[in-house]
Structure 1
Amino acid sequence: MTMIQALRSAMDVMMERDPNVVIFGEDVGYFGGVFRCTEGLQAKYGKSRVFDAPISESGIVGAAVGMGAYGLRPVVEIQFADYVYPAFDQIVSEAARLRYRSNGDFTAPLTIRMPCGGGIYGGQTHSQSPEAVFTHVCGLRTVMPSNPYDAKGLLISAIENDDPVIFLEPKRLYNGPFDGHHDKPVVPWSKHPMGEVPEGYYTVPLTSASIFRPGKDVTVLAYGTMVWVSEAAANETGVDAEIIDLRSIWPLDLDAIVNSVKKTGRCVIVHEATRTSGFGAELMSLVQEHCFYHLEAPIERVTGWDTPYPHAQEWAYFPGPGRVGAALKRVTEA
């Protein structure tokens, strides 16, 4: 399966298993979503369970919070991650706090799906990576898969979870793997070849990272598209990098990170979002706190620029194998 097919399969499986699962958002019904992730689900489950919403992100998430408190399990789609900001108050002040402010009497079991990142020349309003914004909010879980197998298992886990989950989907990975340089699909996947996604029910924990590529020279911490970029950089430089795919950005699998960095003694962090106050800063702090006496070189970050998203310079903006490879060489030669 492609990631789109895997995500659709996850929603299909859960709608069949649980009549309380509902899906809604802008154009997700008859049209099947702008990226076709929900294609065919309205025809199969009806307009009362898969339906379109007005262009009101605050209304979409606010309604989902109420549905969740009432006993449903809504899965809402924000058409692009860039559009989520009008709904931020509903996410932070209502969804994230409902369990705590009600002393457990109510929960907000909603999943907020949104395509993120660049690769489609969408410019400033269709290409942002806002994951760090959500990791700062207590009560939210933040997830970003890098491959179809994980995407399906993580989405099923998110839908079953009783707390709100921010589910970020890298657009560059929607239609297949790529070589780390371009959005042209290539096969096979290093870890999960296309097609090796079970059709039925399975889960991937929302609390565990995976060792995407074992190695002994340097630990690379990445998620989403940057996992593949990091693999391309390691292959091209010949650096024996161990790539940790975080998958669940928060809560974080700190044990996997610490064990890897203690083994390699070096760490490079890669993410597509802007550098300042990006999630890489938190990762650097944690590695420093837990692995200081094992480090053989300074921790490096490879990130997007501290600028508004440049439409015409998109492929220079986010990290590519060249920038990541240079960082790998610096830390291994230090």
Structure 2
Amino acid sequence: MARDEQTIDKDSDGKGGDTATMPMTMIQALRSAMDVMMERDPNVVVYGQDVGYFGGVFRVTDGLQAKYGKSRVFDAPISEGGIVGTAVGMAAYGLRPVVEIQFADYFYPATDQIVSEAARLRYRSAGEFTSSMVIRMPCGGGIYGGQTHSQSPEAFFTHVCGLRTVMPSNPYDAKGLLIASIENDDPVIFLEPKRLYNGPFDGHHDRPVVPWSGHALGNVPTGYYKVDLDKAAIVRPGNDVTVLAYGTMVWVSEAAARESGVDAEVIDLRSIWPLDLDTIVNSVKKTGRCVIVHEATRTSGFGAELAALVQEHCFYQLEAPIERVTGWDTPYPHAQEWAYFPGPDRVAAALKRAMEGR
């Protein structure tokens, strides 16, 4: 399903978010999602480091405190464990906290609260309490942030039962997925690729930007709508090879397919876990080949899980080895950032190897 063909869930009064649209960056789309949900639901609160008066280090929450007050949008101490721990308590009480970890690299001090409390609360209380909370985290590189501001830790969260892990690739999905995440009764790790925050991206860091889906920035409904948390999107139909990607790597994969001439079907996972396995399996059975692309390091990256699932479900249809194109198995290399990233050239080479069956 193409980005601009997704179904919008309308309000009960029929006034859906599709009544008006406007060009938005991903930052603006995420802010709009929180604005819409804070207006609809007084139980939604937003907090984290510098998210109040300052509007967040990337200005995603800019203006929300002025609109909704300091009791609903506020700053937290530099304590990731405290931020997530208080969110667990708020969610158990009935609120819907949306908290920000300033960079995904900083989540480690909150690991015990995420794993032992948020992810397990529904199960350990036999459904009496839920962790209806969203943990937003800017992730990935591309801003020359070095080793402590550039990591892609999605594989860690997919290993934790009870968590949902989401990573949008465009403004439309970013808003719809965040709204769906806020309304979800289980904890959601919402990863936001920093390279996509401020505008269109064509897969190359040294090229002028190109429009998203034919629009200036990505036409996004100004009101309420949701994107299904359980559904991947086929962003580029094709017949020869399936490419599985998410976040920034969706654009890299599209560029590779376009420039290589390979008739590749590019699938944007959107929700990394739980996974839309049906869309993946149907595509690979059709194409007989699979290339997996992610920015995180290769060993034990989420691509390994994807490769295992494709092999389990599509073994007899595969006509070539499954390819993985990933970051290096090394601490994040600040001085070689753009060489570290999978680029269109590396992905195109993998597409050609898959087509040659070697």
Residue 144 (structure 1) aligns with:
167
2-structure distance, mates of 1:175, 1:202? 22
Residue 248 (structure 1) aligns with:
271
CA contact (8 A) 1:143 1:249 kept: yes
The alignment's C-alpha RMSD in Å is 1.0
Shift of 1:187: 2.9
Shift of 1:53: 0.2
1-structure distance, mates of 2:153, 2:135? 13
Shift of 1:194: 2.0
Residue 159 (structure 1) aligns with:
182
2-structure distance, mates of 1:88, 1:207? 25
Alignment deviations for residues 124-175 of structure 1 (CA, whole Å, 9 cap, x no partner): 1000000000000000000000000000000000000000000000000001
Shift of 1:315: 0.3
Secondary structure at the residue paired with 1:62?
helix
Shift of 1:195: 4.4
Shift of 1:179: 1.6
2-structure distance, mates of 1:179, 1:195? 13
1-structure distance, mates of 2:165, 2:214? 22
CA contact (8 A) 1:149 1:192 kept: no
2-structure distance, mates of 1:105, 1:183? 52
Q: Which amino acid aligns with 2:80?
A: E
Unaligned 5+ runs, structure 2: 1-23
Q: Which amino acid aligns with 1:165?
A: V
2-structure distance, mates of 1:252, 1:192? 28
Shift of 1:186: 1.7
Alignment deviations for residues 182-226 of structure 1 (CA, whole Å, 9 cap, x no partner): 176623113765241000000001110000100011000000000
Shift of 1:178: 1.1
Residue 320 (structure 1) aligns with:
343
Deviates further, 188-197 or 261-270:
188-197
Secondary structure at the residue paired with 2:221?
coil
Normalised by the size of structure 1, how large is the TM-score? 0.99
1-structure distance, mates of 2:352, 2:252? 15
Residue 54 (structure 2) aligns with:
31
Q: Which amino acid aligns with 1:237?
A: S
Residue 307 (structure 1) aligns with:
330
2:278 paired with 1:236: no
CA contact (8 A) 1:4 1:174 kept: yes
Identify the structure with bigger relative contact order (alpha carbons < 8 Å, sequence gap 6+): 2
Normalised by the size of structure 2, how large is the TM-score? 0.92
Secondary structure at the residue paired with 2:334?
coil
Deviates further, 194-203 or 139-148:
194-203
Name the % identity: 87
Residue 98 (structure 1) aligns with:
121
Residue 70 (structure 1) aligns with:
93
